[in-house]
Amino acid sequence: MSPLEPGDMLDHYRIEQTVARGGMSVLFKATDLHAGHAVAIKVPHAEMAADPILVERFKREEEIGQTLDHPGVVKTYNSEQRSRLYMVIEWVDGRLLRSILNEERKLPIDRAVRIALAVCEALDSMHKHGVVHRDLKPENIMVGEGDTIKLIDFGIAMKEDARRLTYAGTSPLLGTPDYISPEQVKGQRGDQRSDIYALGAMLYEMLTGEPPFTGPNPLAVMNERLLNDPKPVRKVNSAISPALGEILSRALEREPRHRYQTASEMSWDLEHQELVGVEPEVQRPLLGLKGLPGGRKMLLYLSLALVPLVLFGLMLLLARR
């Protein structure tokens, strides 16, 4: 099928403009001529529409969007008779959190907390429906008036009881290096605690102007996440309270069992910071390896450091098939 351009008709939708082009699809702004309002239309690339597994994932994304009904989550409209494969999504006015951070670098503490609370509320609703986003990042959060938010782009979201889908283009399933949880780096599917980790990483960036881990390339960032704790947030921004620093530490725990188990737990602490117990800020020994003999310690360091490299190699190998 020929690519869509502004002015083209797609069933009863008039394409108004191209909003974004991704590796798997193109997002357009369009007008629903039946309802008379703006919508977003997500159209997969031709090669994606020809792959049965990719089509199934696209349809799963649409189904997930239709199960969610929360003001902080973008709506996906029900399917209807269509001339080709595409998805119709609520049009959301506002600015991406990424655009705000690019412009302001870091946000006032009260605003950062307000946005994080709104994300917690949306996540709590999603997770209660068994949906895990798995790719939370500033690019996937739309901020509207009064710092209301909408979570967008459920391209690699997962229902916790759904079977695993695999296909050649593995890399999009891994999330984004700056926000991906350690368990996802290790190749695990992730669960609601993975979304909480990503929210902690975003809150850290909103408060400090930089993500919790940085490096010269994505592999280095993923290695840092596996091997080290982020720099204590109060050493980066001394205006942050000890309680808020403790909340970030809990959200960014490497081990999921040590993290907040639900978004509502994190939300409660953010709203009641005066009641949060604060642990002394100490830099933990690297993965508790202080007592290991030098040879075994080095071997474990090396094996952990190779995890992202192995994953990256698998991505390249599969992508070339």
Report, as residue numbers or ranges, the catalytic residues.
135
Phi, psi of 81 (to 5 degrees): -65, 120
**Residue 237, CA atoms < 13 Å, CB-side half-sphere:** 22
Burial of 143 (0-12, 13-18, 19+ CB in 10 A): buried
Query: Three-class SS string for 77-136?
Result: CCCCCCCCCCEEEECCCCEEHHHHHHHHCCCCHHHHHHHHHHHHHHHHHHHHCCEECCCC
**Residue 291, CA atoms < 13 Å, CB-side half-sphere:** 1
CB 246 within 8 A of CB 276: yes
Q: Which of 252, 121, 245, 129 is nearest to 183 (CA)?
A: 252
Question: What value, to the nearest 5°, has the Cα angle with vertex 151 and ends 149 and 152?
Answer: 130
- Strand, coil or helix: 19: strand
Query: Across the beta sheet with 87-90, what order do the strands follow?
Result: 9-10, 13-21, 25-32, 37-44, 87-90
> Which structure tokens are listed for 211?
């993500």
**55-82 core/surface letters (b: 16 or more CB in 10 A; e: else):** eebbebbbebbeebebebbbbbbeeeee
CA-to-CA distance for 232 and 246, rounded, in angstroms? Answer: 9
CA-to-CA distance for 164 and 303, rounded, in angstroms? Answer: 26
